[in-house]
Structure 1
Amino acid sequence: MLRIAVIAGVLHSGGKRNLIMEYYRHIDRTKVQYDFICDSDSNGIPEEEIKALGGRVYKVAPYKNLITHLKDTYKILKENKYEVMHAFDNTLNIFPMFLGRIAGVKVRISESISKGDKNEKKTLIKYALRPFSHWFANCYMANSIDCGIWQFGKKTYDKGEVSIFKTVINADTNAFDDKLRESTRKKFGWENKVIYGFIGRYVPQKNPLFLIDIFNEITKKQENATLVMIGFGELENEMHDRIQSYGITDRVMNLGRRDDINQFYNAFDTFLLPSLYEGMPVVGIEAQCAGLPIFFSKNITEETTASELAHYIGLEESPVIWADKIVKVVEDYMPKRRSYAAEVKINGFDSKSEALRMQSFYLAQINSVDGYERNS
């Protein structure tokens, strides 16, 4: 059995955790196993599930304690004598890739699962480290072509050196369920409302203040419109203030951090994601699978299109334009709600098939001497 060191970094509930776990749940674990190396300040490590699936969890000092973090990680890589490591921290992967090289890890996979915005302080380090993304790794991977080109460069992608493994979901468990929709809407008192949903962190990347601007315009067109937000983050107070300033407090529900989100994809009538940037957002695929129309900003790659339910609007457009386009689609679509699991599978977003392809990739790299030394 091949045991792989998965460098997960900070693992909270959300896209990165879902991406890794969907692949892990569906690989043949008699052939390939994962060990998770996570920062100790993570709050979303699914330890019980990982251990039940035969994996191990190692917690290392957070990145902010960089020297201790590097020492902890190196010790784990060295002692376990891994042949393969797979890092999911974008340009920060340079650090574990270096540690893997000096620890003797033969196959060092650096994956890009997001991009960045030069105007956002937290992503400045991404831009600073991006020129070094080729260092110490000998396999490049991304969850979308856009992410692969952003981190590793178009020249590297055009040479066929970036392997694309999409953001995936379990299409069957995310399929539309009319009974779950009915029970959830009844539980929250949404039977006669049009529910606009958002699930994600309340951070600049997700553009939640603009989302509130959009919804404010929607309320002028639909008397029964309600915005339901599920998440947490640094902009929560600003969001609250903007909602109050528009006088729409009674039209917005903030449900905070939750893990039971499948019911909400079914209960919502549409999903709004006007992000400044994304990789290939898991919520985008999950929403479509559940038959939920979703409105992305054009800053999000159109590779996220798993069905006809994906719509893209430019951020240069006003909240009024966004509202006009959204309301038109929602009012036309609502009576036609159905599952789009079949489309999700056909378009390559189902974890069951993609996990087997990932498994084959790992095993092929082990048997490729060239793969060990390229770009070392």
Structure 2
Amino acid sequence: MIRILQCVNDMHRAGLETMLMNYYRNIDREKIQFDFLTHRPQRSDYDDEIESLGGKIYYAPRLYPQNYPKYFKWMKQFFSEHPEYKIIHSHIDAMSYLPLKAARKANIPIRIAHSHNTAIDRDFKYLLKTYFRFKLPKVANYYCACGKEAGEFLFPGKEYMYVPNAIEIDRFLFNENVRMKKRRELGIKDEIVIGHIGRMSYQKNHKYLIDVFAEILKKRNDSILLLIGVGEKLDDIKKYVEKLGLSEQVRFLGNRADVDELYQAMDVFVMPSLFEGLPVVGVEAQFSGLSCIFSDQVPEEVNFTNKAMFISLNEKKDVWADKVIAAAVDKTNRERPELKNSIFNIKQSTALLTDYYKKLINNTV
């Protein structure tokens, strides 16, 4: 059996984490097993399921600059105690420099950096992340990306393996009965439901979305905005909604395990992100038959149906509002059985990732 050490921040319900779980559930675990190196002290949403599937979870020190000496000491000890790992696959973008540097010092032969974004989040580590992005080729010797733009951003001039943000499509294909059941649970009748799923963070641009929704309400006051997700900006976003007097129409649903059903309840999916790699939620929403309105900062690679539209963030918000309303009231049949043959079908993509891991191991032996 090949044991792969998947390196993440944590395993809460978010885009890359959900993508990893999709592959993990579908891979042949008698041949390939995933274990997870996390950088948060607490347990995460997916930890119980990981352990039920035979995976191990390790909790490394936080990647704060003041922790770096402690972190490298911990990693040195970790690799000395776990010689079974020949592959470390890191998913924390530019910050992958740190665990992969530790892995190189420990002579781990296969060190994969995986790009999931097309920009660097502007937090207090922005300058460090920019430096680590430049240094990444010094410690990684293989590269993966969720799309062309993500690969070119983090690994300019390097060859990389395309790993689709694939999903378990049968959970997401449109079902009218599920739609009606979920809308009843949410107390929704004939209202227009605009949906968004994403971490409450700078990247996802929620304030802009709230402003667009305020314009929508001027035109259609029978509209509801569902916000699914949590994050560091949650309190700020709630305060902004209250300030605009939209608390009745904006519903904060938190992290949810039933997102597949929540898509069914929506009429349109909106994502005005400041940057993205290739959003898993954009894939899920399209399999659910939803029209999707993305910002022009979302790579067009996500569009694999005729139901996605890209709008500039410089466009007036009332133009956004008109486009969202038009998409929401479009009654085109949401059932799309032909999508089963898409590259985003996890059944097809798992075989590609399995072959990739096996090839790396065979080339190293």
Task: Give the drift of 1:185.
Answer: 0.5
Moved more, 348-357 or 117-126: 117-126
Residue of 147, 150, 155 corresponding to 1:144 = 147
Q: In structure 1, how many angstroms separate the alpha carbons of the residues matched to 2:193 and 2:284?
A: 17
Are residues 1:90 and 2:93 paired? yes
- Conservation of the 8 A alpha-carbon contact between 1:11 and 1:39: no
Residue of 100, 104, 113 corresponding to 2:107 = 104
Are residues 1:336 and 2:339 paired? no
SS in 1 for 2:252: strand
SS in 2 for 1:74: helix
Aligned counterpart, 1:79: 81
Equivalent position amino acid for 1:46 in 2: Y
Task: Summarize the Cα distance change of 1:25–1:317 in structure 2 as closer, same or farther, 3 Å threshold.
Answer: same
Post-superposition Cα deviations, 1:284-330, rounded to whole Å, max 9, x if no partner, equal: 11111111111110101011112112211110101111111121222
Moved more, 68-77 or 14-23: 68-77
Post-superposition Cα deviations, 1:54-112, rounded to whole Å, max 9, x if no partner, equal: 22111222212333333333333332222211111111111121221222211111111
Q: In structure 2, how many angstroms separate the alpha carbons of the residues matched to 1:363 and 1:55?
A: 19
Aligned counterpart, 2:57: 57
Task: Summarize the Cα distance change of 1:240–1:59 in structure 2 as closer, same or farther, 3 Å threshold.
Answer: closer
Moved more, 205-214 or 217-226: 217-226
Give 5+ residue unaligned stretches, structure 2.
Answer: none
SS in 2 for 1:37: strand
Residue of 127, 131, 135 corresponding to 1:132 = 135
Aligned counterpart, 2:317: 319
Aligned counterpart, 2:48: 48
Task: Summarize the Cα distance change of 1:320–1:49 in structure 2 as closer, same or farther, 3 Å threshold.
Answer: same
Give 5+ residue unaligned stretches, structure 1.
Answer: none
Post-superposition Cα deviations, 1:19-57, rounded to whole Å, max 9, x if no partner, equal: 111111111111111111112335525222222222211
Task: Summarize the Cα distance change of 1:189–1:122 in structure 2 as closer, same or farther, 3 Å threshold.
Answer: farther
Aligned counterpart, 1:184: 182
Task: Summarize the Cα distance change of 1:210–1:169 in structure 2 as closer, same or farther, 3 Å threshold.
Answer: same
The percentage of counterpart residues that share the same residue type is 31
Equivalent positions of 1:1-376 (< 5 A) are 1-64=1-64, 65-81=67-83, 82-117=85-120, 121=124, 123-153=126-156, 155-156=157-158, 161-331=159-329, 333=330, 335-340=331-336, 342-343=338-339, 345-369=340-364
Post-superposition Cα deviations, 1:194-237, rounded to whole Å, max 9, x if no partner, equal: 10111112221111011011011111111311111122233334
Task: Summarize the Cα distance change of 1:319–1:148 in structure 2 as closer, same or farther, 3 Å threshold.
Answer: same
Task: Summarize the Cα distance change of 1:225–1:120 in structure 2 as closer, same or farther, 3 Å threshold.
Answer: same
Task: Summarize the Cα distance change of 1:115–1:44 in structure 2 as closer, same or farther, 3 Å threshold.
Answer: farther
SS in 2 for 1:324: helix
SS in 1 for 2:138: coil
TM-score, normalising length from structure 2?
0.93
Equivalent position amino acid for 1:181 in 2: R
SS in 1 for 2:169: coil
Please tell me the root mean square deviation across aligned C-alpha atoms, in Å: 1.9
Q: In structure 2, how many angstroms separate the alpha carbons of the residues matched to 1:29 and 1:118?
A: 34
Task: Summarize the Cα distance change of 1:339–1:66 in structure 2 as closer, same or farther, 3 Å threshold.
Answer: farther
Q: In structure 1, how many angstroms separate the alpha carbons of the residues matched to 2:266 and 2:362?
A: 47
TM-score, normalising length from structure 1?
0.90
Task: Give the drift of 1:118.
Answer: 7.1
Q: In structure 1, how many angstroms separate the alpha carbons of the residues matched to 2:36 and 2:246?
A: 44
